[in-house]
């Protein structure tokens, strides 16, 4: 079996993942907790139990998604750019390995949302006819260099055909 790609993401991506996950978990919690709280305020004892269970699940999910998963996810995320292909390895339970030949690359982009921008990070997206492959959490200058280098390698691969 081939070795894992050499490059890891920027360590600041763990905090970005934590913030994103905290936002989504909190939205889901409020959507599940609010009806229980409203019914509990009306004297429904089953709703009190439902609200307590919802809160306990929320706390457990916060611990899992904010403490445990970012560290494992960061350790498993790897990428490498060679002259012929882009190699991406990721996944915690279901591990995925993508080898994208540059002859198949249609375009490369960088993306930067507000949370990534706050941490000085960006994502590089490589698009093929089969779909898009994203490398999240690169320092902005590294992301721009990777995007430009991948685009150049894709151009050279098309010229060689």
Give tens-digit pLDDT for 95-110.
999 999 999 999 999 9
Please provide the average confidence, as pLDDT, over all residues in the chain.
Answer: 93
The first and second tokens of residue 114, run together, are 């507000």
pLDDT tens digit string along 126-158? 999 889 999 999 999 999 999 999 999 988 888
CA distances from 134 to 48, 108, 137 (A): 43, 10, 10
Lowest mean pLDDT among 34-43, 48-57, 112-121: 34-43
User: Would you list the domain boundaries of the chain?
Assistant: 8-74, 80-160
- Of 67 and 44, the one with more pLDDT: 67
Residue recorded with tokens 């280098």: 149
Name the helix (H) or strand (E) containing 7: strand 7-8
For residue 33, is pLDDT > 80?
Answer: yes
CA 62 distance to own-chain centroid: 17
DSSP bridge pairs for 89: 78, 97
* N-term to C-term CA, the chain: 29
3-state secondary structure string across 67-134: HHHHHHHHHHCEEEECCCEEEEEECCCCCEEEEEEHHHEEEEEEECCHHHHHCCEEEEEEEECCEEEE
Topology adopted by domain 80-160: PH-domain like (2.30.29)
Q: How many CB atoms within 10 Å of residue 36?
A: 20
Give yes or no for residue 160 having a pLDDT over 80: no
């Amino acid at each position: 079996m081939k070795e894992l790609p050499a490059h890891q993401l920027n360590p600041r991506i763990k905090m970005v993942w934590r913030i994103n996950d905290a936002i989504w978990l909190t939205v889901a919690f409020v959507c599940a907790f609010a009806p229980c709280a409203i019914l509990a305020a009306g004297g429904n004892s089953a709703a009190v139990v439902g609200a307590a269970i919802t809160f306990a699940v929320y706390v457990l999910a916060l611990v899992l998604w904010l403490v445990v998963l970012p560290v494992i996810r960061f350790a498993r995320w790897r990428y490498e750019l060679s002259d012929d292909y882009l190699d991406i390895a990721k996944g915690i339970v279901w591990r995925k390995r993508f080898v994208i030949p540059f002859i198949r690359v249609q375009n490369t982009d960088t993306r930067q949302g507000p949370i990534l921008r706050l941490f000085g990070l960006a994502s590089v997206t490589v698009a093929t006819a089969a779909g898009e492959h994203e490398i999240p959490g690169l320092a902005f200058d590294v992301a721009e260099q990777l995007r430009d280098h991948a685009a150049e390698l894709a151009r050279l691969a098309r010229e060689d055909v």
